[in-house]
Amino acid sequence: MGTLEVLQVINAEDQTVAGAVQRVLPAVARAVDLVVAARQRGGRLVYVGAGTSGRLGLLDAVECPPTFGTAPQEVVGVLAGGDGAFAVAVEGAEDDPDLAVADLEALGIGPADVVVGLAASGRTPYVVAALHHAGQVGAATVSVACNPGSPISALADVAIEVDTGPEVITGSTRLKAGTAQKMVCNMLSTAAMVRTGKVYRNLMVDVRPTNAKLVDRARRIVATAATVDEERADAALRAADGHAKTAVVMLLAGCGADEARARLARHGGRVREAVTG
């Protein structure tokens, strides 16, 4: 094959992934509801995996604070072999069930939490042990696998089985299986944040403006949400100490920053209710 032919084959296979994810949306929805319930009782969303699967969970976890203004401990990624295994593979870590138990015990996993086990094969020993331990201590459990009838599915309260089929390079699950897992993680965290008031309309009103790009984005979010020009949005943001959600409530409810914060606190951080309530 020429280069273009290789790419066409990969692309054709990639186009099947969204359909495979679509077929399991009811299971994803049940998993999101578990995460929402956990967040409402002060629990955490904890991704657990090894290799590519674990890296995808960790990636989703670290992107939640800047996107949704969550604290780092609200969404956690646990990678077999530790965070250092993100860049350099730690051989044998995925086969160590005792390591999985130790990692979850170190986090103090308990009944308030949701543990999402990610394994393309559905049988990684580290993930199997993690889900078994999570279930024993009363945490809600979700599995994400790309093989039907996998061992981790049998251990989970909600089993998400995205049947992506054979890979272009046999066994290279960083391809379609990895894409499917990334899509599911995106859905789990994003939909849960939407359901718990971290989004207003389709706007990231809890964005954390930690760099110049995000400062500009926060200004545009406030301007769009409150239907004002960017000058007014910028003034409101300064009065709100840079917190876009507070600035939006200030402008929509016609109140000061302290009142906006109080309204948000009364309504669980939901902008719509804070403005009308």
pLDDT of residue 87: 79
Residue 277 predicted with pLDDT over 90 = no
Q: What is the mean pLDDT of residues 58-64?
A: 96
Residue 123: pLDDT over 90: yes
What's the average model confidence in pLDDT over 80-96? 84
pLDDT exceeds cutoff 90 at 91: no
Nearest-angstrom CA–CA distance, 169 and 229: 52
Arithmetic mean of pLDDT, 46-60? 96
Q: Active-site residues: which are they?
A: 63, 94
Q: Residue 84's pLDDT is what? A: 85
Q: How confident is the model at residue 88 (pLDDT cuts 50, 70, 90)?
A: confident
pLDDT of 95 > 90? The answer is no
Q: Which of 202, 180, 198 is nearest to 189 (CA)?
A: 198
Q: Give the model's pLDDT for residue 90.
A: 79
Q: What is the mean pLDDT of residues 215-242?
A: 95
Mean pLDDT estimate for the chain: 95
Do 200 and 225 meet the contact criterion of CB atoms below 8 Å apart? yes
For the chain, what percent of residues have pLDDT higher than 90?
92
Average pLDDT over residues 252-259: 96
Q: What is the mean pLDDT of the segment spanning 255-272?
A: 95
Cα 197 from chain centroid? 15
Read off the pLDDT of residues 132-181 as tens digits, 9 standing for 90 and up: 999 999 999 999 999 999 999 999 999 999 999 999 999 999 999 999 99
**What is the pLDDT confidence band of residue 55, given thresholds at 50, 70 and 90?**
very high
Res 142: pLDDT: 98
Strand duo 114-118 + 75-79: pairing: unpaired
Distance of CA 259 to the CA centre of its chain: 31
Which of 49-53, 85-89, 103-107, 261-265 shows the lowest per-residue confidence on average (mean pLDDT)? 85-89
What pLDDT, on a 0 to 100 scale, did the predictor assign at position 226? 96
Mean pLDDT in residue range 118-140: 97
CA atoms within 13 A on the CB side of 197: 16
- 89: buried, middle or exposed (CB in 10 Å: 19+, 13-18, 0-12)? middle
Query: How do residues 172-214 score in pLDDT, each as one tens digit?
Result: 999 999 999 999 999 999 999 999 999 999 999 999 888 999 8
